[in-house]
């Protein structure tokens, strides 16, 4: 595969991370749940953001096949 955007696993992981990092689903059941004094929605968003960064790095390092060496 030449680019990460042609890999269905990469695209699936990116979509999951983006949807998870947007805390829209916490509006469906509004609660004030906290963990260590921090709102749970904030922790979920931070983990999803780091996950998106990791997936992007994996896509660029492992899936991107750059044969041009100028």
| 17 in a structural domain | yes
pLDDT band at 59 (very low <50, low <70, confident <90, very high): confident
| 23 in a structural domain | yes
| 70 in a structural domain | no
Report the domain count for the chain: 1
And the tokens for 70? 């100028």
pLDDT at 70: 54
| 69 in a structural domain | no
pLDDT band at 68 (very low <50, low <70, confident <90, very high): low
pTM for this structure?
A: 0.75
| 41 in a structural domain | yes
Cα dist from 21 to 6, 63, 64, whole Å: 23, 23, 25
| 12 in a structural domain | yes
Express each pLDDT in 1-54 by its tens digit: 467 777 888 889 999 998 888 877 777 766 677 778 888 888 888 999 999 999
The whole domain housing 58 covers 4-63
Distance CA 5, CA 14 (A): 10
């Amino acid at each position: 595969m030449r680019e990460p955007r042609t890999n269905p696993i990469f695209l699936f992981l990116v979509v999951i991370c983006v949807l998870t990092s947007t805390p829209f689903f916490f509006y469906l059941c509004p609660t004030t749940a906290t963990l260590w004094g921090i709102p749970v929605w904030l922790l979920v968003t931070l983990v999803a953001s780091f996950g998106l960064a990791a997936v992007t790095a994996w896509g660029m390092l492992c899936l991107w096949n750059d044969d041009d060496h100028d």
